[in-house]
Amino acid sequence: MNGEAPPRPLDYLTAQGTHALEVLPLTWGVLIISLLVTAIISVLVVSGILLRRVPSGGPIPPVARTGSGMRWIYIGVGLSTIVLFGTAVWTMRVLAAVISPPAEPAFTVTVDGRQWWWRIRYHETRDTPEFITANEIRIPVGVPVRIRLTSTDVIHSFWVPALSGKTDLIPGRINETWIEATAPGVYRGQCMEYCGWQHARMGFVVVAMEGAAFDAWRASQVLPASEPQNAAIAEGKRIVMTHCCACHTIRGTEAGGSAGPDLTHVASRLTIAAGTFVTDRTTLEYWIRHPQRAKPGNRMVDPDLDLEATRLPAAYILKLR
């Protein structure tokens, strides 16, 4: 599923989602209009100068009212007006087409922005209870999913360019948007409203999966965390319970904090620290030992652990799949 990483994960001159695909021709349309206008005006200015210039070094010629020149304004503004009105109409049509999803969404996900990560709640459906995860949204291919957006602290903005444009997460309000992927894949998301120190490192991913794989994933997410299978992992768990439980929830254990991301199935997620690192042993150990160096200003304190002591909790967390 991971596949080849795209060369430009946040590029929006291409699209993989219904919402974004609907807008893409308009984006290219106004871009091409803009390039043409720039080219035409540049040619007019430069050729006008070359054709009409006074030879350099010559005397300043007297002034003369040679021609009214008004035809330039009539034709130029007339053509501009036609193009502008055409664009306005096109804009309204696309707006009407994407303002609501093409079909009733399969389910709803609430995204709650935090400095600097994303709390993600899958609402209850007919056959699945609700559950909480973070920094990664999985969706089935080919169905629209409703995204409700809010924030607990400052304003953030939800953006997965391959799937749809952005919508703000505003504290005290709930905004709605929708996404629908047309092909399986991993789509990069990013916070797009300035929100303080780590605005730069507030990313996430949307993983689009075939329906059956998605159902299996959702069923696994509802389960509590797996129990340690050996003594080393059990020791890792003990350390996690001592250091991490005030801020993180691991369902099925005594860890029930809510200040940081839910870690029940953290190892099943592709990234840690809100899209900052690929989830593996090295990055996780670095993150646990030096969160303030990895992402200065984030709410996770530097723990008093040496590398050896980091191995065990990291090993336990990597089992939380």
Question: Residues 40 to 99: which contact other proteins by CB under 8 A?
Answer: 41-42, 44-45, 48-49, 51-54, 56, 60-73, 75-77, 80-81, 84, 87-88, 90-92, 94-96, 98-99
Pick the closer one to other proteins by CB: 11 or 227. 11
Residue 32 is a binding residue for other proteins (CB under 8 A): no
Near other proteins by CB under 8 A: residue from 26, 132, 213, 318:
26
Output DSSP code: residue 251. Answer: T
Residue 23 is a binding residue for other proteins (CB under 8 A): yes
Binders of other proteins among residues 205 to 264 (CB under 8 A) are none
Pick the closer one to other proteins by CB: 55 or 129. 55
Residue 171 is a binding residue for other proteins (CB under 8 A): yes
According to DSSP, the residues that pair with 171 across neighbouring strands are: 151
Pick the closer one to other proteins by CB: 96 or 212. 96
What are the angstrom distances between the C-alpha of 266 and each of 22, 23, 112, 246, 249?
A: 34, 34, 17, 17, 11
Near other proteins by CB under 8 A: residue from 198, 264, 271, 310:
198
Q: Within 13 Å, how many C-alpha atoms sit on residue 252's CB side?
A: 13
Residue 180 is a binding residue for other proteins (CB under 8 A): no
Q: How far apart are CA 94 and CA 74, in angstroms?
A: 30
Least distance CB 187 / other proteins (angstroms)? 11
Least distance CB 49 / other proteins (angstroms)? 6
Handedness of CA 226, 231, 232, 236 (dihedral sign): positive
Least distance CB 18 / other proteins (angstroms)? 13
Pick the closer one to other proteins by CB: 87 or 128. 87
Burial (CB < 10 A; 0-12, 13-18, 19+), residue 26, is middle
Q: Look at the block and give the residue holding tokens 């949307």.
A: 206
Pick the closer one to other proteins by CB: 80 or 258. 80
* Host H or E run for residue 39: helix 18-52
Residue 280 is a binding residue for other proteins (CB under 8 A): no
Least distance CB 257 / other proteins (angstroms)? 20
Question: What does DSSP say about strands 185-190 and 203-209: parallel, antiparallel, or unpaired?
Answer: antiparallel
* Residue 294 in tokens: 């990895």
Near other proteins by CB under 8 A: residue from 114, 119, 166, 269:
166
Binders of other proteins among residues 92 to 151 (CB under 8 A) are 92, 94-96, 98-99, 115, 149
Most distant pair of Cα atoms in the chain: their distance: 97
Binders of other proteins among residues 294 to 313 (CB under 8 A) are 296-297
Residue 153 is a binding residue for other proteins (CB under 8 A): yes
Number of other residues whose CB lies within 10 A of the CB of residue 106: 17
Least distance CB 92 / other proteins (angstroms)? 6
Q: Within 13 Å, how many C-alpha atoms sit on residue 203's CB side?
A: 20
Q: List all residues 6 or more positions away from 285 whose beta carbon is below 8 Å from its beta carbon.
A: 307, 310, 311, 314
Pick the closer one to other proteins by CB: 186 or 250. 186
Output DSSP code: residue 255. Answer: -
